[in-house]
């Protein structure tokens, strides 16, 4: 009996060693679930490029393991999200999910990641719940919560900043889905705390661009400022339409930086001088940001934006986890705690990750000048999402 037990223990040990060996040689499978079509297509591509750039800079390996990529176009379509994420989890058997841009799609991804205990790094989508009630050890975000950049803009809009005066009356406008409504909520919280009043919330279905009737309404109401959440192709159209009505001459258009990030070339004169708040600015003059932008431009023959930074930092977070366990994915607790405890040396500036899994980071006030969002100052230092409802 004892010999049998010894033998079976030996067999089990050999089996484990074999597993570790197989794992040691095999690549880590990373599954990108991102929008490659639709209004957010450029954001998805930038995230993938940023992620791959960091891996390439490490010689193609993280924690001693090669990286193999899988990808699914999520089309920013929540109704297809569960099927799409299961292609990566069940069909491709990925070790790590990286996605996505759209908050509604990301919420379905987070649910699937929790249920299957698959590692998930969110490289954009700000859905507050992901690092709120849905927070989990296996989920980390390299980007922001919708509340974060919105709250900073609400504070600036109410209190003023430098030569900018504070405002009293605001109208908000956005797409009617989680990111838009949470962004408006974060803005309103800070703006009203600072003594302002949001007099009207306007919205339209995602990813619609029929802005005319809503712009007419803004012109009739004459607020001091307008706060808008749009991004990607929709942001290009909105900012151009806003300027075409002439409204930008009398009513400043504010927003989280998504309104002008990765879009300035297409927006042209319409966006010049716009003030936005975000955790990144193109011209942050640090060795880290300068080296990153140079490397990105050399590799892709295009200029990096905030989405490229978030992809790059998603890879840095994964690298921290894999290095801590020397590539051994079976050491789950050590891996996920290293991913939460990392200090990310980001092009945006160094940042930490909260217990809930969200970056604690400076939010800059930026001004659109030429093709860059230039830093004006720090709107809120080391801003942490309140992580309402997270029990980690
Ligand atoms: C989101 O859906 O959370 C979202 C999408 C695009 C952005 C920012 C947030 O640029």
* pLDDT tens, residue by residue, 209-233: 999 999 999 999 999 999 999 999 9
Cα–Cα distance, 382 to 384 (Å, whole number): 6
Measured from the Cα of 105, ligand 1's closest atom is 2
**Residues within a 6 A CB radius of ligand 1:** 40, 101-103, 124-127, 146, 179, 231, 258
pLDDT confidence bin for 4, thresholds 50/70/90: low
Tokens of 31: 């599954």
Contact 309, 288 (CB under 8 A): no
pLDDT confidence bin for 6, thresholds 50/70/90: low
DSSP string, 219-273: HHH--SEEEEE--HHHHHHHHHHHHHTTGGGTS-EEEEGGGTTTTHHHHGGGGTT
Cα–Cα distance, 313 to 18 (Å, whole number): 32
Give percent above pLDDT 90 in the chain.
93
Measured from the Cα of 126, ligand 1's closest atom is 3
Distance 116 CA to ligand 1 centre (A): 25
pLDDT in tens, 76-106: 999 999 999 999 999 999 999 999 999 999 9
Return the residue matching tokens 């484990």: 16
User: Beta-carbon neighbour count of residue 362 at 10 Å?
Assistant: 20
């Amino acid at each position: 009996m004892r010999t049998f037990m010894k033998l079976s223990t030996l067999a089990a040990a050999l089996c484990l060693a074999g597993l570790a060996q197989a794992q040691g040689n095999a690549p880590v499978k990373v599954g990108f679930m991102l929008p490659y079509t639709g209004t957010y297509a450029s954001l998805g591509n930038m995230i993938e490029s940023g992620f791959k750039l960091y891996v390439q800079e490490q010689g193609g390996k993280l924690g001693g393991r090669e990286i193999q990529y899988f990808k699914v176009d999520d089309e920013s379509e929540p109704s297809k999200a569960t099927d799409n994420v299961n292609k990566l989890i069940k069909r491709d058997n990925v070790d790590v999910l990286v996605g996505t841009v759209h908050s509604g799609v990301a919420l379905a991804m987070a649910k699937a990641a929790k249920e299957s205990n698959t590692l998930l790094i969110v490289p954009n989508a700000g859905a507050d719940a992901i690092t709120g009630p849905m927070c989990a050890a296996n989920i980390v975000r390299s980007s922001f919560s919708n509340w974060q950049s919105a709250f900073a803009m609400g504070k600036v809009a109410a209190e003023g900043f430098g030569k900018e005066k504070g405002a009293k009356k605001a109208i908000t406008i956005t797409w009617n889905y989680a990111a838009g409504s949470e962004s408006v909520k974060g803005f309103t919280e800070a703006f009203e705390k600072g003594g302002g009043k949001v007099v009207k919330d306007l919205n339209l279905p995602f990813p619609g661009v029929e802005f005319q009737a809503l712009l007419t309404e803004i012109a009739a109401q004459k607020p001091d400022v307008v706060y808008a959440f749009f991004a990607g192709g929709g942001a290009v159209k909105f900012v151009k339409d806003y300027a075409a009505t002439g409204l930008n001459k009398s009513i400043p258009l504010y927003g989280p930086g998504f309104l002008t990030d990765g879009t300035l070339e297409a927006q042209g004169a319409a966006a010049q001088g716009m003030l936005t708040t975000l955790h990144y600015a193109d011209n942050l003059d640090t060795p880290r940001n300068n080296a990153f932008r140079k490397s990105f431009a050399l590799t892709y023959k295009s200029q990096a934006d905030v989405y490229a930074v978030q992809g790059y930092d998603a890879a840095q977070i994964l690298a921290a986890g894999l290095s801590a366990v020397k590539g051994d994915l079976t050491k789950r607790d050590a891996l996920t705690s290293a991913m939460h405890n990392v200090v990310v040396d980001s092009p945006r500036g160094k940042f930490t990750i909260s217990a809930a899994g969200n970056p604690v980071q400076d939010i800059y006030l930026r001004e659109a000048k030429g093709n860059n969002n230039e830093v004006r100052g720090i709107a809120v230092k080391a801003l942490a999402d309140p992580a309402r409802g997270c029990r980690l």
